[in-house]
Amino acid sequence: MFAVRVLGQDLLDDDLSLETESTFAARSINIGHTATTDVIEKLEGAKPRGQQTTGRAAFGATFDGTAALGSTGLGNELGHSLPVAHTKDGGQVSWDDREPPPALWCVVAPLLMVDDKGRELKFRQLPERIVSLVPSDTYTLAKLGAGSRLVGRTRYCELPAEELSGAAVVGGTKDADVAAILELKPDLVLVNQEENTLSAAETLRREGVPIFVSFPTKASHSLIQVSRLARLLGDLTNEGKDLVRFAYAADAELQAGWNAARVRVFVPIWMEPLMTIHRDTFISDQLFQLGADNVFADRVRHYPLAADLGKREPQAPGDRDVRYPRVRLEEVVERQPDLVLLPDEPHPFTEDDARRFRELAIPAAPDRVRFCVGKQLMWPGLMALEGAQHLRSMIHGPAN
């Protein structure tokens, strides 16, 4: 016999029992999420004490007489559902008439993940070769300790620079080099619905490459994505685990909202033509959680451009994105923002741009037109969580 333990803790459930020679019943112990039921396999021929089987078992395992299952080494205090297999006899797996150790058995649960398109991905081994076409995901992966498992990135995946030198550049977010990605033989490619092209994603999928699609529209998606990527990596270092704990704490503070006076803010993302954001964007919801109300929250993009500029009647948008409207300076004046935030990307706003806003008849002029770090506002994941307090102080700080 050996005890089945999760991260050093016995997790017992009298409803579970040994079912057959080849399977155990397993249930995700509910730690902040809805419990689910799976069947996990009993794999024969685990290696001797202290060694690992080929590849990384999804949810992790050790072979020293204790099956360490769970969210691949993350503590249950982090809010993950932790699968565990055991019998009704107090958490002990009894082999009865089977060979006892040293011929150990390894219990491994497949990792099932659902992306933002509703597609399921199942991993029996954690991915060893990851290509990220999403700069914010690349940042989070590298900070969590992906190391050599991050084999490909875009030219815009530039942070943290010291961690990315070994990852091949496979084009940009809009012009990814599919052939170069395939040459890397990835186990997983991370894409984003609005940053990357559908054609690249579909080509990779047809070639049999697992694709995970994200589409963050709420501030809460930062923590969701950190959690997802941590599960994909599995064997986190202590520093990586600390970052996940930080993400949970930062998200809790962010979701608590802002109870003091709110600020009406205008955030342009391009200058010529002048473009901004609708409420159904990550940027707008991040601002809302920080105590700022997007003055163009209700403004959708009209097609064609002349309609967006008020020169003709709009056409039906079809399946085109309406969340990034093109607006006129006159509309900015009509909306009367208390604050104008000028991010340094995707358009690098300049002092000349700022001067144009400071000359408008708006409450923000002239002393509350401010530059901000675009990544802190636009990169869901660790970057947005790390930058939240700085942005909040910028939003609610005194005039220049």
pLDDT of residue 397: 86
Asked if 35 and 28 count as a contact pair (C-beta separation under 8 A), the reply is: yes
Asked if 20 and 30 count as a contact pair (C-beta separation under 8 A), the reply is: no
Residue 389: pLDDT above 90? yes
Q: Which of 226, 177, 184, 221 is nearest to 200 (CA)?
A: 177
**Could you give the CA distance from residue 202 to residue 311 in angstroms, rounded to a whole number?**
37
Pairing relationship of beta strands 111-114 and 120-123 according to DSSP bridges: antiparallel
This prediction's pTM: 0.76
pLDDT of residue 181: 98
Instruction: Give, to the nearest 10 degrees, the angle between helix 382-396 and helix 135-144.
Output: 110
pLDDT per position as a tens digit, 319-357: 899 999 999 999 999 999 999 999 999 999 999 999 999
Give Cα 233 to chain centroid, integer Å.
13
**Could you give the CA distance from residue 4 to residue 21 in angstroms, rounded to a whole number?**
17
pLDDT per position as a tens digit, 259-270: 889 999 999 999
Residue 234: pLDDT above 90? no
The band of 400, judged by pLDDT with boundaries at 50, 70 and 90, is low
pLDDT of residue 124: 84
Residue 134, amino acid: V
Return the higher-pLDDT residue of 85 and 309: 309
Give Cα 5 to chain centroid, integer Å.
29
Q: Work out the number of other CB atoms within 10 angstroms of the CB of residue 120.
A: 8
Percentage of residues in the chain with pLDDT exceeding 90? 65
Asked if 177 and 171 count as a contact pair (C-beta separation under 8 A), the reply is: yes
Give Cα 78 to chain centroid, integer Å.
15
pLDDT of residue 16: 26
**Could you give the CA distance from residue 382 to residue 137 in angstroms, rounded to a whole number?**
9
Asked if 213 and 201 count as a contact pair (C-beta separation under 8 A), the reply is: yes
Mean residue pLDDT across the chain:
78
What does the pLDDT average to over 298-311?
92
pLDDT of residue 293: 97
| DSSP designation for 377 | H
Q: Work out the number of other CB atoms within 10 angstroms of the CB of residue 57.
A: 26
Q: Which domains does the chain have, with CATH numbers?
A: 1-109 (no CATH), 120-254 (3.40.50.1980), 257-396 (3.40.50.1980)
pLDDT per position as a tens digit, 79-112: 333 333 333 333 433 333 334 333 333 344 578 8
Asked if 217 and 195 count as a contact pair (C-beta separation under 8 A), the reply is: no
Range among 154-158, 252-256, 310-314 rated most confident: 154-158
pLDDT of residue 373: 96
Instruction: Give, to the nearest 10 degrees, the angle between helix 221-233 and helix 135-144.
Output: 50
pLDDT of residue 170: 98
User: b vs e for 73-107, b when ≥16 Cβ sit within 10 Å of the residue's Cβ?
Assistant: bbbbebbbbbbbbbbeeebebeeeeeeeeeebbbb
Angle at 385 between CA 272 and CA 380, to 5 degrees: 50
Structure tokens that stand for 274 in this block: 């002048």
pLDDT of residue 235: 81
Mean pLDDT lowest among 72-81, 150-159, 163-172, 262-271: 72-81
| Residue located via tokens 């144009």 | 356
Q: Work out the number of other CB atoms within 10 angstroms of the CB of residue 160.
A: 10
Residue 19: pLDDT above 90? no
Q: Which of 197, 35, 243, 228 is nearest to 116 (CA)?
A: 228
**Could you give the CA distance from residue 282 to residue 53 in angstroms, rounded to a whole number?**
40
Angle at 194 between CA 314 and CA 286, to 5 degrees: 95
Torsion of CA 79, 83, 84, 87, to 10 degrees: 120
The band of 310, judged by pLDDT with boundaries at 50, 70 and 90, is confident
